[in-house]
A and B are shown apart, each in its own frame.
Chain A
Amino acid sequence: MIALDRRTHAYPVVMPDRRLRERPTPRRRFRRNPMAAAMVVAALAILPALLYVYQRTEAAATGYSILRLQRELAGLESEYARLQATVSALRSPQRIERIATSELGMAPPRQRQLAAITTAPAVATSPAPPRSLAQRLGAWLGFGEAQAHELER
């Protein structure tokens, strides 16, 4: 406004009839439409609160999910332990022997049914010679394997 006045004094020109529309300041806009302003303020005030409530609700829901999963986990662990104990009971030597002897008609081997076998000591195999870069590349591309298959035939 001040700048315009000065320019008028320095350079007198015919100004248009239409008055220059002044851009209203926010304060003026709020004064003109207090309801909108109140809405904005209310929204700004309520939004974080809503977000907070949403967050808390989600946290509580997640907490209950965790609780449910924890119970489920405990139940599964309990079931696993019970099954482990059952497996151990099923594998007990007494039970296996009872079934083997009474149901399957098995018996421990007698002395004359056993023979000691002398086994030859294991022969150490020589390690495969290191392959060249070309051979490794060929094997990677599949040529080496193809050759091996041919040899097998």
Chain B
Amino acid sequence: MTRRPPGRSRPRPFRSGQRPAGPVRRPAVSEVDLQRAVRGRLTFLFVLLFAGQAVLLGRLVYIQGSQADHLQRLALNQQLGAFVLPTHRGRIFDRAGRPLVANVEVESVFAVPRAIRDPQEFARRVAPLVRMDPREIERRLEPHLYFVWLKRKVSPETAATLRALKLEGQLGFLDEARRAYPNGELAAHLLGFVGIDNQGLAGVELAYDSTLQGRPGRAVVGRDAIGRPIVETQRLAAPAVDGADLVLTVDQVVQHIAERELEKAVEETGAVRGMVLVMDPRTGEMLALAAVPTYNPGAFQRVPPKRWVNRPIGEVFEPGSTFKLITAAAALDSGRVDLTDVFDCPESLQVGTHRIRDAHRYCTTSQTLTDVIRYSSNVGAAEVAARLGKERLYEYIRRFGFGAPTGIDLPGEAIGIVRPPQEWLGPGLQTIGFGQGISATALQMLVGASALANDGVLVRPHVVRMVRDREGRLLQGVSAAPRRGVVAPEVAAAVVRMMIRTVEDGTGKLAAVPGYVVAGKTGTAQIPAPGGGYLQGRYISSFLGFTPIPNPRLAILVVLEEPRGAYYGGAVAAPLFRAIAERALWYLRVPPSTPLAAPAQTP
């Protein structure tokens, strides 16, 4: 501070309106006044600072104290996110490890309605690409929603086209796993299919849904400012467990042979429908299960639901003459009939008001049980059934597994219709003896008859061989148990011999496979009419056989429904059996047991 030089008078204040010339001079203050002023200002400043600090401190205490929990929760909710760890649905392989069902990642399309300013324009642009009605898209775009599915699991091409629209913020994509059936329609009825959320809806996919599904995991993770997960903040609440893989008993190639030959036979015979079952009679392992018409499990919605039914196990039919095998086995095992017994061979058999006839009369005087099977005599089978009696025949029918589920590991199995003996009215006993008046599934028929090829022991059919984890380690093996004997081994062998005669020089000649011994039985059944009686001119042709004998590897049942023209099982179904058995035996490298014809000489 400069002191005013002596002699200078205090500057006089200038009058208003006048401005003195030269620099403005401030009025002089005393040092005491100055100190006082400074002290006062400092005090004010300190008070202000302390007050500010006190307010801040109070706010801090308030936030960190009473509001701490609430704010912490808010922050955690904002930063941390719990999410579900997805699992892989188990794959399905054939018995040789070839994939039948796999998973592929595809994209699903969603919209953000709140971000869409013009829903009509949006729908107009997007609808043709996702193959939807624009009005349907508009209906879904409710303005208050942040998320709405547009189309699940679209093809990569569709996703690329949608991306090209550049509707960022309005349209989004999420990865999802889709079931892929690389073989198309192969084994469709057996494999089944899944819904949009990969939940099993039919076939093996449904029967083993819990095994295939796995268990989704849960995790918590913090996210950074732009929403990326912060890895070090990840906390696993529950690990995800992938679904187990299934190895089926089905052989892809045998299945293909069965389907190919069945389709060909259905086309050639003009049959409405057809089915083929191939089983290992010793273990109950199903090698093929085919039905025509079929569908693609990857696009099951495109066919009527009726076609989804696994008819070989889910629909019943009157088996017809193939059932004579059961009658013959029951007659021999019960001791009511002997192999040397001779039956009358009338042109027809009168039972009450009903007359039973044979399709073709092959004998004039008498016939043995072997002849009854070999020539498929209805009259002879009726006589055998009459000798057995209702109670005893019913007991054997149940023993062979008719009227009860076989226990196959597939959903939707029918149990068939086996009425108690008290309800066998009129010629019921006799007609059941040759397979009319009783209903069974194709699988029941095959399993029951296969006991004859397995020393009289009934096996449980199954389609899953083992359950493995994703790395291929065995988790669970499926055995053929339970097994139970239904007839004596020698009885079973005797019936099989009759079946061999049937193929050698009986009704099943067209089923013979060169080089192999085949045992089989033809079947031609009428179709029951809804109001009673049978439909005229409509038949179910079938053939049931085992090969090679001895030690059969294949038990095959073929069924053709309502063929046009020829309809006898021996004429229509036996050639189909032969075609399947021949190819399957070659494929399975089963050596022929009888000499083959000499190879053709090449020029």
Could you list which residues of chain A lie within 8 angstroms of chain B, going by C-beta atoms? 59-60, 62-64, 66-67, 78, 81-82, 84-86, 88-89, 91-94, 97, 108, 111-116
Most buried by B among A60, A113, A115: A115
- Shortest 6 CB-CB contacts between residues of A and residues of B: A63-B231, A88-B182, A78-B105, A93-B256, A89-B182, A112-B600
Interface residues, chain B, CB within 8 Å of chain A? 98-99, 102-105, 175, 180, 182-184, 186, 228-232, 252-253, 256, 260, 514-515, 583, 586, 591-592, 595-600
Of B105, B231, B592, the residue contacting A64 (CB under 8 A) is B231
Nearest Cβ distance between residue B234 and chain A, in whole angstroms? Answer: 9
Whole-angstrom CA separation of A111 from B583 in the bound complex: 11
In the complex, what residues of B have CB within 8 A of residue A114's CB? 586, 596, 599
Question: Contacts of B103 on A, CB cut-off 8 Å?
Answer: 81
Minimum C-beta distance from A64 to chain B (A): 7
Contact in complex: A85, B260 (CB < 8 Å): no
Cα A82 to Cα B155 in complex, Å, equals: 12
Asked whether A97 and B104 contact (CB < 8 A) given A78-B175, A114-B599, the answer is: no
Q: Say yes or no: A59 contacts B180, CB within 8 Å.
A: no
Residues of A within 8 A of B586 (CB): 114
Q: In the bound complex, do residue B102 and residue A112 qualify as a contact, i.e. CB atoms below 8 Å apart?
A: no
Instruction: Check if A116 sits within 8 Å of B182, measured CB to CB.
Output: no
A-B contact count (CB 8 A): 76
Evaluate contact between A113 and B583: CB separation under 8 angstroms: no
Q: Which of A91, A93, A94, A116 makes the CB contact (< 8 A) with B515?
A: A116
Let me know if B252 and A115 touch, CB within 8 A.
no
User: Across the interface, do B256 and A82 meet the contact criterion of CB distance under 8 Å?
Assistant: no
| Chain A residues with CB under 8 A of B592 | 116
Pick from A84, A88, A115: contact of B183, CB below 8 A: A88
**Nearest chain-B residue to A56 (Cβ)?**
B232
User: Once the chains are docked, how many angstroms separate the CA of A104 from the CA of B256?
Assistant: 20
Q: How far is the CB of B182 from chain A (nearest CB, A)?
A: 4
A82–B180 Cα distance when bound, in Å, is 9
Please classify the interface of chain A as helix (H, G, I), strand (E, B), loop, or mixed, using the class held by over half of its residues. Answer: helix
**By the criterion CB–CB under 8 Å, are A84 and B99 in contact?**
yes
* A residues less than 8 Å from B231 (CB atoms): 62-64, 66-67
**Distance of A64 Cα from B98 Cα, bound (Å):** 38
Q: Tell me whether A93 and B253 are in contact in the complex, defined as CB-CB below 8 angstroms, given that A111-B596, A116-B592 are known contacts.
A: yes
A81 in contact with B105 given A93-B256, A108-B583 (CB within 8 Å): yes
In the complex, which residues of chain A have a beta carbon less than 8 angstroms from the beta carbon of B596? 111, 114-116
Q: Could you list 14 A-B pairs, sorted by A, with CB under 8 Å?
A: A63-B231, A66-B231, A67-B228, A81-B102, A88-B98, A89-B183, A93-B183, A94-B184, A94-B186, A94-B260, A112-B598, A112-B600, A113-B600, A114-B599
B583 (CB) vs chain A CBs: closest residue: A108
A118 and chain B: residue at smallest CB distance: B591
Given known A-B contacts A60-B230, A63-B232, A116-B515, A85 and B182 have beta carbons under 8 A apart: yes
Nearest chain A CB to B180 CB, angstrom units? 4
A112-B599 in contact (CB<8A): yes
Contacts of A85 in B (CB 8 A): 99, 102, 104, 180, 182
Closest beta carbon of chain A to B517's beta carbon, Å: 14
> Closest CB of chain B to A90's CB: distance in Å?
8
Q: Considering the chains assembled together, what is the distance between the CA atoms of A105 and B325 in angstroms?
A: 43
Q: In the bound complex, do residue A92 and residue B184 qualify as a contact, i.e. CB atoms below 8 Å apart?
A: yes
Chain A residues with Cβ under 8 A from B598's Cβ? 112, 115
The answer to whether B597 touches A92, judged by C-beta atoms less than 8 angstroms apart, is no
Q: Which residues of the partner chain B approach A84 to less than 8 Å between Cβ atoms?
A: 99, 102
Measured between beta carbons, the chain A residues less than 8 angstroms from B182 are: 85-86, 88-89, 92
Give chain A nearest CB distance to B435 CB in angstroms. 33
Report whether A115 and B180 are in contact in the complex, using a CB–CB cutoff of 8 Å. no
Shortest CB-to-CB span from B598 to chain A, Å, is 8
> Which residue of chain A has the shortest Cβ distance to B224 in the bound complex?
A60
- Flag if A116 contacts B256 (CB, 8 Å): no
Residues of A within 8 A of B583 (CB): 108
Partner of A67, one of B105, B229, B260: B229
**Residue of B at shortest CB range from A77?**
B105
Assuming A64-B231, A67-B228, is B597 touching A94 (CB within 8 A)? no
CB closest chain-B residue, reference A111:
B514
Chain A residues whose C-beta falls within 8 Å of the C-beta of B98 in the assembled complex: 88, 91
Task: Decide if B260 touches A97 in the complex (CB within 8 Å).
Answer: yes
**Minimum C-beta distance from A114 to chain B (A):** 6
Question: What's the least CB distance linking B593 to chain A, in Å?
Answer: 9
Is A94 a contact of B183 with CB atoms below 8 Å?
yes
In the assembly, what is the distance between CA of A108 and CA of B256, in Å? Answer: 14
Q: List 4 additional contacts besides A64-B228, A92-B182, A112-B599; criterion CB under 8 Å.
A: A89-B182, A91-B98, A94-B183, A113-B600
| A112 CA to B103 CA, complexed, in Å | 44
Shortest CB-to-CB span from A117 to chain B, Å, is 9
- Specify which chain B residues have a CB less than 8 angstroms from the CB of A111 in the assembled complex: 514, 596-597
Q: Give Cα A97 to B184, complex, Å.
A: 14
What CA separation (Å) do A119 and B105 show in the bound complex?
50
Docked-complex contact B105 and A93, CB < 8 angstroms: no
Roughly how many angstroms separate A92 CA and B183 CA in the complex, as a whole number? 6
A97 to B260, CA, bound (A): 10
Bound CA–CA A43/B184 (angstroms): 71
Chain B residues closer than 8 Å to A82, beta-carbon distance: 104-105
In the bound complex, what is the Cα–Cα distance between A144 and B595 (angstroms)? 50
Chain B neighbourhood of A91, CB < 8 A: 98
Q: A63-B232, A67-B229, A108-B583 are in contact. Are A113 and B599 (CB under 8 A)?
A: yes
Q: Using Cβ atoms and an 8 Å threshold, which residues of chain A touch B260?
A: 94, 97
Q: How far is the CB of A141 from chain B (nearest CB, A)?
A: 44
- Complex-state Cα separation, A63 to B186, whole angstroms: 46
Contact partners of A89 in chain B: CB under 8 A: 182-184
A81 to B256 CA separation, bound complex (whole angstroms): 24
Q: How far is A81 from B232 in the complex, measured between Cα atoms in Å?
A: 29
Partner of A93, one of B230, B252, B600: B252
